Amino acid sequence: MAGDGIELSPTRQAPSDTMTMESPVQHRGNHIDVQPAINGSEDPELECRRIQVFAIMVALCLSLFIAALDQTIVSTSLPTISSRFHSASGYTWVGGAYLLASAAAAPIRAKLSDIWGRKPNLLVAVLWFLLSSIVCAAAVNMKMLIAGRALQGIAGGGLLQLVMIVVSDLFNVRRRSLYMGILEFMWTISGGLGPILGGVFSEYLSWRWNFWINLPMTIFHAKQAIPMHSGLMVLPLVELVIFQVIGGAGSAILFAPPLIALQALVAQDDTASATTMLGFIHTIAMSVSIVVGGVVFQSSMTGERGRLQAAGLADGIVEELTGASAAASTEVIKTLKDPSKIRIVADAFSSSLQNIWIIYTYMAGIAVLASMFIVNQPLSEEHTETRTGLKEE
């Protein structure tokens, strides 16, 4: 094996199915061997090895956090960004460019990690991500921002998939489920913080801080049309939190279980390719979902034109609130003073968003039906060695 790959040695069967931080890590050159710990061992090196496993997981969680955070952090800033760059339709590509580039780059990153090893590819992806964040933060127009987001996606896609591949290399199928769960928890946290942080930065600092800073800064309280609420507060805060928790829990469940199920069906040497393929499909689906959601929202707001006109809103305001301009109408909403008109606008936005959730619910139902055809597969407790590098070819 050549490069900074991660080498996994065959292990004995664990005494239980419960995953613990008891797997010591041994270094041989640039390789990392993960071997099972012996319960009750007094080996003075054991604690050090546990710390090494912990350090690896911390590094992987941080990598996953910054990549997952950037998938959602701009969502609540899009109205402000669209207004700043006077682009009513370009906002869909701010998120779409990231996801499409992520999907395209992930298979390449995975193959390069097979050749050169996991560690150097992770480091390159992190550096690339930082540089592309600077491009986004310094954007002077929508085209530059979209290009920067695409560059971020190239790095972010590599980070997401490499993190999964490294965990798959380090642990057997049964034991890795706990570590996948840890990553799933980190994904949920970053995905939940993203929109909140994006709104806070846009309202109190600048949308550019979405790219300058990726540290938690959360205050979620307002009752008028501000970026923190993606243009409109259409639900009481308590209801909003409850629905977000339900939605977040549902999406988090889709993170690790499909990956574990897929990895249980393939050989260890094919795990990286299988992991990347699933990530590719997942990212493409997210990209399509963003476009579909945007189209449905715009069409629904166009259908609300009659109700808005009947409420006595000026034609210019109605034009800003409907069609392609709907998502960039934050500043227009702020000008409304009549509570009855504000309520009509809120109802129009709520109805349009509801149509999006209805479509996604149908898609989820199809997924539930398809999942019934997944065959039962025992999870292996054997730890098969994974070799990477040019010499192994």
How many CA atoms does the CB half-sphere of 36 hold within 13 Å? 20
Is 105 inside a domain boundary? yes
Is 392 inside a domain boundary? no
What are the two backbone dihedrals, phi and then psi, of residue 34, each rounded to the nearest 5 degrees?
Answer: -110, 120
3-state class of 27 per DSSP? strand
Is 130 inside a domain boundary? yes
pLDDT of residue 163: 80
99 token code pair: 């996801």
Mean pLDDT of the 70-98 span: 73
Distance, in Å, from the CA atom of 7 to the CA atom of 1, rounded to the nearest integer, reads 8
Mean pLDDT of the 169-174 span: 71
30 contacts 116 by C-beta, under 8 angstroms: no
Judge residue 233's burial from the number of C-beta atoms within 10 Å of its C-beta, 0-12 exposed, 13-18 middle, 19 or more buried: middle
DSSP type of residue 89: S
Return the number of other C-beta atoms located less than 10 Å from residue 284's C-beta: 15
Domain extent at residue 84:
46-266
pLDDT of residue 106: 75
Distance, in Å, from the CA atom of 80 to the CA atom of 204, rounded to the nearest integer, reads 12
Is 39 inside a domain boundary? no
CA separation (Å) from 88 to 57, 94, 213, 246, 385?
41, 12, 26, 31, 52
* pLDDT tens digits, 311-349: 777 777 777 777 666 666 666 776 777 777 778 877 888
* pLDDT tens digits, 49-66: 677 777 777 777 877 787
Return the number of other C-beta atoms located less than 10 Å from residue 378's C-beta: 8
pLDDT of residue 386: 58
Distance, in Å, from the CA atom of 308 to the CA atom of 112, rounded to the nearest integer, reads 54
Length of the chain: 393
Is 126 inside a domain boundary? yes
Is 254 inside a domain boundary? yes
pLDDT of residue 256: 67
pLDDT of residue 168: 76
Which residues face 28 on adjacent strands? 31
pLDDT of residue 12: 39
93 token code pair: 């590509």
Residue 141: which residues within 8 A CB-CB, separation 6 or more?
85
Which residues face 27 on adjacent strands? 32
How many CA atoms does the CB half-sphere of 40 hold within 13 Å? 1
- In this predicted structure, the answer to whether residue 226 has a pLDDT above a threshold of 50 is no
Is 25 inside a domain boundary? no
Average pLDDT of every residue of the chain: 68
Which residues face 31 on adjacent strands? 28
- In this predicted structure, the answer to whether residue 88 has a pLDDT above a threshold of 70 is no
- In this predicted structure, the answer to whether residue 245 has a pLDDT above a threshold of 70 is no
Is 156 inside a domain boundary? yes
Sign of the C-alpha dihedral computed for residues 182, 188, 190 and 193 taken in this order: negative
Check which CATH number belongs to the domain holding 83 and give it: 1.20.1250.20
Sign of the C-alpha dihedral computed for residues 150, 294, 224 and 87 taken in this order: positive
* pLDDT tens digits, 69-82: 777 777 777 777 77
74 contacts 84 by C-beta, under 8 angstroms: no
pLDDT of residue 246: 64
> At residue 238, what is the residue type?
V
296 contacts 355 by C-beta, under 8 angstroms: yes
Sign of the C-alpha dihedral computed for residues 148, 150, 154 and 156 taken in this order: positive
* pLDDT tens digits, 106-150: 777 777 777 777 777 778 888 888 888 888 888 888 888 888 888
Residue 284 pLDDT level (bands cut at 50, 70, 90): confident
Sign of the C-alpha dihedral computed for residues 199, 330, 251 and 264 taken in this order: negative
3-state class of 176 per DSSP? helix
pLDDT of residue 9: 39
The count of structural domains within the chain is 1
Mean pLDDT of the 91-101 span: 76
pLDDT of residue 285: 77
